[in-house]
Chains A and B, each alone.
Chain A
Amino acid sequence: DGGITQSPKYLFRKEGQNVTLSCEQNLNHDAMYWYRQDPGQGLRLIYYSQIVNDFQKGDIAEGYSVSREKKESFPLTVTSAQKNPTAFYLCASRPGAGELFFGEGSRLTVL
């Protein structure tokens, strides 16, 4: 089954803990993205990566970190420095040109 897989679907975290969200794609896409989706604010770009071992900050990168060691994988770490981490996180990928393909999302709740 091809596509983008995000895990876990739901995640709970205590304040002060780091947490890593997984994003894997088997579409052979070069570019990968992380967005945060909040009610009334739409999708805001956290990080994106055009190729392996390269990534750029988006509009709201503070408190987040990423890595791109493999083409298929683009994990996002939500660090304790992120002041308001409770949100719905969407991962996407894109071939050289064209549309974004999205995962089903991960909902993070900080207790």
Chain B
Amino acid sequence: AQKVTQAQTEISVVEKEDVTLDCVYETRDTTYYLFWYKQPPSGELVFLIRRNSFDEQNEISGRYSWNFQKSTSSFNFTITASQVVDSAVYFCALSDNSGNTPLVFGKGTRLSVIA
């Protein structure tokens, strides 16, 4: 069965600190996609990244980076030099062909960046 676990419910950091948000997933499928979405206080989830199961290269986009490790079924997200605007709820999600659910989300990690 599909499952996404974000063990960190809430994280609080001081501005300019680096922070890593953990995501562990379960799937029986060999072809799947992993996503991260950001939900700012406005409520609208914003797409951050999509990664397919055949591409384990780490990705960097500005202050954001993602570490995909199939061996540990993890897709962790790191924010470098955090800023107050990074404060939001971050969701990791999984999409595969093994179930009917289009996108399975974790419970989210609430990140608070304090000035």
Q: Do A and B come from one complex?
A: no
Residues of B within 8 A of A (CB): none
